[in-house]
Structure 1
Amino acid sequence: MSLRILLADDHAVFRSGLKAALNTQDDLCCVAEVADGQAAVNEVTRLTPDVAILDIRMPRLDGLRAAERILDRRGNTTKVIMLTTYDDDSYVYSALRLGVSGFLLKSVPPEETIAAIRIAARGDALIDPSVTRRFISRFAASIAPPASATGLDRLTAREREVLMLVAQAHSNTEIARDLGIGDETVKTHVSRILAKLGLRDRTQAVIYAASHHLVAPFPAPPTDTTDTTDRAKTGRLKGRGRRRTT
């Protein structure tokens, strides 16, 4: 059975190109394409697709507000992936808070978007680990610890371990390897964690773990202090080195 996809983007050329890429896949079917956020909400309500891909900047209703309305619908089953041309932390934070299943730049190759759709449809995380780590570092550092870790007492010791690894952007396969258990067992643990804590998905689990200070902020990457002129020289030297070896 094909996954049913809705595309929402006000750029017709980008939309048609992505639709064409989706329709080359036997397990994907684009059931609707719209040019604004309000139309996206209307069509998701009417068609209940498996995944909605929303551009952040759209007329009538922007992608974040459209995602909020979609995800807040009673009984909603549609996963949401946000697309943008801007690698802006404020967009990432807002999208994660809403419970979207992914955040991708429009510049990624179509095959990465296709892979993201499949991952979102099965309820797994797809946000790049570097984005997740950056989010944890800044989000966790900006909030005070809660008065009590509500819901944590309902988790078993193993479920807490899994939650910690989910919050550190580990995939199910990595968690299974680290804990010496099977992939299906990890999926069961994640499902139980989400149910016990009242969370929509893994991205909300990351937010929960960060807000309860269950994971330490990741260290910021070192600042590149190299002068731009030096970087340009280095790039030219590397380029010449490559040409000599071909």
Structure 2
Amino acid sequence: MKLIIVDDHAVVRSGLASLLNGKHGIEVIGEAADGDEGIAKALELRPDVVLMDLSMPHGKDGMAATAELKQQAPDIAVLILTMHDDDEYLFRAIHAGAAGYILKSAPHDELVSAIQSVASGNAYLYPTATKRLMKEYLDRQNKGENTGTFEKLSDREKEILSWTAKGYSNKEIAEHLILSVKTVETHKANLMEKLGLKTRPDLIKYAVKKGLLTFE
């Protein structure tokens, strides 16, 4: 399994390379310090797996790099290795095309298993993330939520849902769609009620799961 490590910390990259290279059938063929360099290395060296950090302050971060790499080379699996134990990051990473998501606090053997899994074409989530996703699914089922709820939204409501999730204000959405601010507020209130959402973070998570957000 050919592997590239993308992380802005040189110590982390060298530590992971020492830990993994030449063991368990893994060959580390490259390293990169940011998303742009990671994409370039991956397209040049064509690894089986890119081990991608999320938080990199220079160049593209891991989320944007994952989305771009999957567009250009869908055959390369991306495994997110991060300190963020957070549902929103998890959903965004999945939407961006990551094949797996694992925490930096994970034991060595779990990291190896994750690499092997995504290299084989399977998905990997760390155990507590899997439990949370299952719980969320069961909670939705118990509340009677069904996949047709989204289809009940009007085209205009779907538009406003997408713009709102991307962080645009009511005024900005109104200007873009050539509507009054009051009309935008009414549409937003209606769609939130239909979807049973209460807060902006809830709306963002919903928009991510429905594929209404892109990360550039």
Q: Deviations over 1:140-171 (max 9, x none)?
A: 8498623799xxxxxxxxxxxxxxxxxxxxxx
Is 2:147 aligned against 1:145? yes
- Please, which runs of 5 or more residues in structure 1 have no aligned partner? 150-209, 212-246
Which residue of structure 1 aligns with residue 46 of structure 2?
48
Distance 1:148 1:37, change over 3 A: closer
Q: Is structure 2 residue 22 aligned with structure 1 residue 20?
A: no
Matched, 1:72 2:74: no
Residue 79 of structure 2 aligns to which amino acid in structure 1? I
Superimposed CA distance per residue, residues 19-43 of structure 1 (whole angstroms, 9 cap, x where no aligned partner): 0011141511111001001100111
CA gap 1:138/1:41 in 2 versus in 1, 3 angstroms: same
Match of 2:182?
A: none
Q: What are the equivalent positions in structure 2 for 1:29-40 lying under 5 Å apart?
A: 29-40=27-38
Q: For the Cα contact (< 8 Å) 2:35–2:65, is it kept in 1?
A: yes
User: Superposed, which structure 2 residues align to 1:54-203 within 5 Å?
Assistant: 54-58=52-56, 59-73=58-72, 76-138=74-136, 141=140, 145-146=147-148
CA shift for structure 1 position 72: 1.2
Q: CA deviation at 1:137?
A: 4.2
Does the 8 Å CA contact 1:9/1:15 hold for their aligned counterparts?
Answer: yes
Aligned length: 149
2:103–2:126 Cα contact (<8 Å) kept:
no
In structure 2, list runs of 5 or more residues that go unmatched: 152-208, 211-216
Corresponding residue SS for 2:81:
strand
The within-5 A match list for 1:203-242 is none
- The CA distance in 2 between the partners of 1:129 and 1:13, in whole Å, is 27
Check the 8 A contact 2:64/2:96 in 1, yes or no: no
In 2, distance between residues paired with 1:144 and 1:26?
Answer: 43
CA deviations on 1:154-211 (whole Å, 9 max, x unpaired) are xxxxxxxxxxxxxxxxxxxxxxxxxxxxxxxxxxxxxxxxxxxxxxxxxxxxxxxx97
Matches of 2:18 and 2:104, distance apart in 1: 15
Counterparts of 2:3 and 2:75 in 1: how far apart (Å)? 12
SS in structure 2 opposite 1:116? helix
Classify the secondary structure of the residue corresponding to 1:100.
coil
1:84–1:104 CA contact under 8 A, matched in 2? yes
User: Structure 1: how far apart are the matches of 2:123 and 2:27?
Assistant: 21
Q: Provide the residue aligned with 1:11 in structure 2.
A: 9
RMSD: 2.7
CA contact (8 A) 1:56 1:63 kept: yes
2: CA distance, partners of 1:81 / 1:72: 15
TM-score (norm 1): 0.54
Per-residue displacement from partner, 1:214-245 (whole Å, max 9, x unpaired)?
xxxxxxxxxxxxxxxxxxxxxxxxxxxxxxxx
TM-score (norm 2): 0.61
